Structure formats: C-alpha cells, structure tokens
C-alpha cells in the first residue's frame, strides 16, 4: 500500500503544478509572459504555441514585446492576440508587437480574485477526488481480504493527512495570488 500512496501523492503534486500554471496565466497588473501561454498561432497550417514562434520579453513592468523569428507570422500573431481573451489590443510596428497592460480597475481586481478562488476550489476538489479514489481502492482490497481492517484505517488516515497537507498548500498559493491581485 505504501507504493500506492506514492502514486496518489504524485497525482496531488501534479494538481498543485497545474494550479501554479493556471494562476501564472492570470495577469496581475504586471506584464507576465505566462499570460500568453494559452495563445496559439496558425503557423504553416498548424496551431503552434506563441512562445515557439516568437521571442517574448518584458521591457518594462507594464508591457510585453513579442518579436517573431519569422517575419511572415507577424500578422498571425497579432490576430491570435486580438481573438484571445486577453482584452488587450496589440500594437504592431512591422517588426515587433507590443502589448501594454493597463492598471487593473477595482472591479476587474475583484473579478480576478474570484477567478483565483474558483481555480483554487477546483484544485481542492481534484485533490479530494484523488483521496476518494485511493480510499475506494483500499476498501475494495479490504473486501477481497487483501488488507486487514487496521491496514485500511491506517491507509485512510494517511490519505486524509496527505489531503489536508495539499489542501493547505493550495490555500496558501491562492491566498498569495489573491493578495498580489489586491495590492496591484
């Protein structure tokens, strides 16, 4: 059962990694290249992630510069940004696309904090689902007499402790991101 617990701990760790990536994509007033991670560009007929067709830099805290390696893809990059849910209009100077991030309004800040909380809640649900999956597997093993009653209770306790640890970690990550959004 110890080896199985490692499997479930790995699944919970993956949930934390996904949470980190999702929260990185939420812009907090500062220009962060991670907000462009979900944008794909039509490149020679194939949807390609933006960061694979262009260099992305942050010349100052409120802007990003996107310089495609292939000049012919400049218009496609501009179009992909316009059709995304970023809500920022790109400025194209023929060689580089610039994105200027306006300061967040109070209303938008509250909206983003709610979004962060929802993403955090979804992550907690995912962690709890991993716990339920593990406990169901243990109960099935107990029914087949592959596990004693004491081993079942020990496994349930360990899964609960692991779940509590990861839920606490998720709460910390969400609180940090919410604070970052509130202070911008």
pLDDT value for 165: 93
> Token pair of 39, please?
């944008």
Which domains, ranges and CATH numbers included, belong to the chain? 2-24+105-183 (1.10.132.20), 33-100 (3.30.1360.40)
The reported pLDDT for the residue numbered 126 is: 92
Sequence-distant (≥ 6) Cβ neighbours of residue 106 within 8 angstroms:
none
For residue 30, name the pLDDT band (cuts at 50, 70, 90).
Answer: low
Strand 63-68 with 91-92, pairing: unpaired
Most confident of 28-37, 142-151, 164-173: 164-173
Q: Look at residue 3 and tell me whether its pLDDT is greater than 70.
A: no
- Sheet arrangement for strand 54-60: 54-60, 63-68, 97-100, 91-92
User: In this predicted model, what pLDDT tens digit does every residue of 63-105 receive, in sequence order?
Assistant: 888 888 888 888 888 888 888 777 778 888 888 888 887 777 7
What's the number of CA atoms in the CB half-sphere (13 Å) around residue 68?
Answer: 22
What is the b/e burial string over 14-25, where b = at least 16 CB atoms within 10 angstroms of the residue's CB? ebeeebeebbee
């Amino acid at each position: 059962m110890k080896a199985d617990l490692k499997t479930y701990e790995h699944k919970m760790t993956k949930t934390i990694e996904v949470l980190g990536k999702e929260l990185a994509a939420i812009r907090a007033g500062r220009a962060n290249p991670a907000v462009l991670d979900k944008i794909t560009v039509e490149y020679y007929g194939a949807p390609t992630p933006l960061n694979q067709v262009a260099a992305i830099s942050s010349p100052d805290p409120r802007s990003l510069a996107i310089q495609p390696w292939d000049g012919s893809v400049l218009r496609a990059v501009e179009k992909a940004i316009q059709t995304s849910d970023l809500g920022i209009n790109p400025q194209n100077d023929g060689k580089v696309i610039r994105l200027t991030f306006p300061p967040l309004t109070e209303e938008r800040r509250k909206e983003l904090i709610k979004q962060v909380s929802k993403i955090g809640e979804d992550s907690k649900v995912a962690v709890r689902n991993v716990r339920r999956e593990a406990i169901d597997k243990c109960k099935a093993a107990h029914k087949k007499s592959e596990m004693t009653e004491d081993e079942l209770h020990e496994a349930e306790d360990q899964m609960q402790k692991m779940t509590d640890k990861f839920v606490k970690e998720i709460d910390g990550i969400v609180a940090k991101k919410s604070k970052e959004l509130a202070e911008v």
